[in-house]
Amino acid sequence: MDPFELLKADHRKVEQLFSQLESASGKQKLQVFDQIKTELELHTHIEEKFFYPALEEPEETHDLALEAYEEHDVVKKLLKELSKAKSATDEWEAQAKVLQENVEHHVEEEENELFEKAESALGEEELEELGDRMAAEKERKLSSKSSKKSAATKSASKSASRSTAAARTRRKSSKKTSKSSGSKRSPSKKSAKKR
């Protein structure tokens, strides 16, 4: 697989999400931000695990690879800070804009400088193998995340089923108690007057 195409597809997806973030409002902003965070965390993971280490050795990509790690650190700090918010305040929006600008700068540098130098520094075969490993890791992380989500959903649904069953049992028990206590009631007012 072509590693550049894989990374560019991630870049386009995040660009779309930033556009959605700008037009979103209220709680929806935080939901879109969560998607951006998920995408950026996965993207930085595969770059740092495979792409940048392959580019640290060649002289022509060494400095750019080190700079890319530093840019990732800035993005990670911003993501962490933005994640703490309970609502999208003016300060939060300003910080989200700084995140967007950092990501855009990073993408521009990668696509216009680093990718070209990486292509000449690494052979076609090495790039293909690198792309395959990156794609496999991305798939592994995505399937791991979805299996965790489905396990959490199943657990929540089992818990809800148990709660519903317990509520039914309590209602049935309560009905039985009221029926059985109905026959042992104290004499009614009419029978009490007759006495």
Neighbours of 72 (CB within 10 A): 19
Rounded Cα gap, residues 131 and 6, in angstroms: 7
Rounded Cα gap, residues 28 and 23, in angstroms: 10
pTM of the model: 0.74
Distance separating the N- and C-terminal Cα atoms of the chain: 96
Residue 102 neighbours by CB under 8 Å, 6+ apart: 71, 74, 75, 78
pLDDT at 153: 60
Pick the CATH number of 3-144 from 1.25.50.10, 3.10.105.10, 1.20.120.520, 3.40.1010.10: 1.20.120.520
Instruction: State both tokens at 123.
Output: 């052979």
In tens digits, the chain (195 residues) has pLDDT values of: 999 999 999 999 999 999 999 999 989 999 999 999 999 999 999 999 999 999 999 999 999 999 999 999 999 999 999 999 999 999 999 999 999 999 999 999 999 999 999 999 999 999 999 999 999 999 999 998 777 766 666 665 555 555 555 555 555 555 555 555 554 444 444 444 444
Which 3 state secondary structure label does DSSP give 60? helix
Q: Where are the alpha helices (DSSP H) in the chain?
A: 3-23, 27-46, 52-56, 59-83, 90-109, 115-121, 124-182, 189-194
11 and 107 in contact (C-beta within 8 Å)?
Answer: yes
The residue to which tokens 């696509």 are assigned? 111
**Residues making up the chain, counted from first to last:** 195
Rounded Cα gap, residues 129 and 106, in angstroms: 24
Rounded Cα gap, residues 150 and 28, in angstroms: 23
The residue to which tokens 């007759």 are assigned? 194
Rounded Cα gap, residues 129 and 124, in angstroms: 9
Map out the domains of the chain as residue ranges: 3-144
